[in-house]
Amino acid sequence: MDKLVIERSGPLCGTVSVHGAKNAVLPIMAACLLSDEPSVITNVPPVTDVFTMMEILRGLGVGAALAQDRLTITPDAYTGVVAPYELVSRMRASVCVLGPLLAKRGRAKVSMPGGCVIGARPIDLHLKGLQALGASVEIKHGYIIASTSGLRGARVQLGGSFGSSVLATGNVMMAASLAEGETLIEQAACEPEVVDLANFLLTMGARIEGCGSRVIRIRGVARLRGARHRIIPDRIEAGTLMIAVAMAGGDVTIDGARAEHLGAVIDKLTEAGASIEKLNGALRVQSDGALKAVEVTTLPFPGFPTDLQAQMMALMAVSRGVSLLTEKIYPERFMHISELNRMGAQITREGASAVVKGVESLRGAPVVAPDLRASAALILAGLVAENHTELDGVDHMERGYAGLEEVLARLGAKITRVKQG
């Protein structure tokens, strides 16, 4: 397995473009199951989660071909309804095939989802929503087994202990698109990725109102057609690059970064001492690397995203003063603390919060990425650490970032991929 060797890099300068959003494309790929006609999706990032979803679709009998950033999905008259453990266990987002399979085929057998070990995030909201639409659901031997003689519109409440669920909102919205009658989703997730899915469904012929708000209204239709759609830019990749520039210093323009998707990130980086300029379809980030402590709480959109929590903690580790970071989405998502502390950070966990006492400099060390976003955090820490850092667990990074080390290298970062085995 490959590893990355990261050296203290100095200021980052230049212009880069972000890829399409991984968290948007996966449910949109699943939504293609709702039609018998082919769909074409562009701006698709070449990350392993996309390839995993392609394998899941092929296992159902669906054609899936990726050429550069253009993905063609050909459902035809697929008959498969089983998404097996060996594929679904790789990522949580694979559970989003459940709603489309139920709506189109009337039954589904989907393994309980896996992915990064970032703490409990039950799928009870998915099951609650689909049961409200008339599905019969049980869990046997690690599989979700669901069936229906016909889904019917209903009022669905999707508020949970940790806020609204993006994937549950998507699953119910997809299933309701082919259900008889009207569905009202209350306490729906408002994330840009949910809006992107809704826009794709609208292009397919769905009747949806209220996307991006807490209440979504869906009027079921008899059939959906194939569609063409361009995926929105990845706000998490953009945010990761913004934090990298804030930490290392420099002047970088990030094409594709949408200010309306990154308001909370812009606010906190500005508070920490970076300068962020909103351009037409881009953000320009400038920093001298001298940062000050901030307080951050992760929240559903438009709050600070949980997928940037680890990266922000790396920034806090080298900011002057004492920062406080509270995780409201995944309270156990702190696996990266021990690895950052190995590099000389001073981070103490207190329940769902982390107290971060900034240090003058981190020290390079051998570290292991425990999950996708932690891999990015450790890379950013390596950019400002003395000596060099060796990062194992690069496969986690590849699930959601397309060539992150190459993107940073183009800006002046000193990162080398070392082949192993």
Active site residues: 116
What's the per-residue H, E or C state across 244-278? Answer: HHHHHCEEEEEECCCHHHCHHHHHHHHHHCCEEEE
Q: Which residues pair with 389 in a beta bridge?
A: 6
∠ CA(381), CA(93), CA(140), 5° rounding?
A: 125
Do 259 and 283 contact (CB within 8 A), yes or no? yes
Cα Rg for the chain, rounded, in angstroms? 21
Look up residue 63 and give its two tokens.
């054609």
Side-chain-side CA neighbours of 410 within 13 Å: the count stands at 12
Could you give the CA distance from residue 86 to residue 67 in angstroms, rounded to a whole number? 25
- Written as one string, the DSSP assignment of 61-91 is T-EEEEETTEEEEE-TT----EE-HHHHTT-
Chain position carrying tokens 């939504």: 31
Do 177 and 208 contact (CB within 8 A), yes or no? yes
Could you give the CA distance from residue 131 to residue 133 in angstroms, rounded to a whole number? 5
DSSP 225: -
Do 136 and 110 contact (CB within 8 A), yes or no? no
List, in sequence order, the alpha helices (H) in 249-385: 263-272, 309-317, 336-342, 372-383
Alpha carbon 59 to its chain centroid, in Å, reads: 23
Look up residue 161 and give its two tokens.
């202990």
Do 391 and 382 contact (CB within 8 A), yes or no? yes
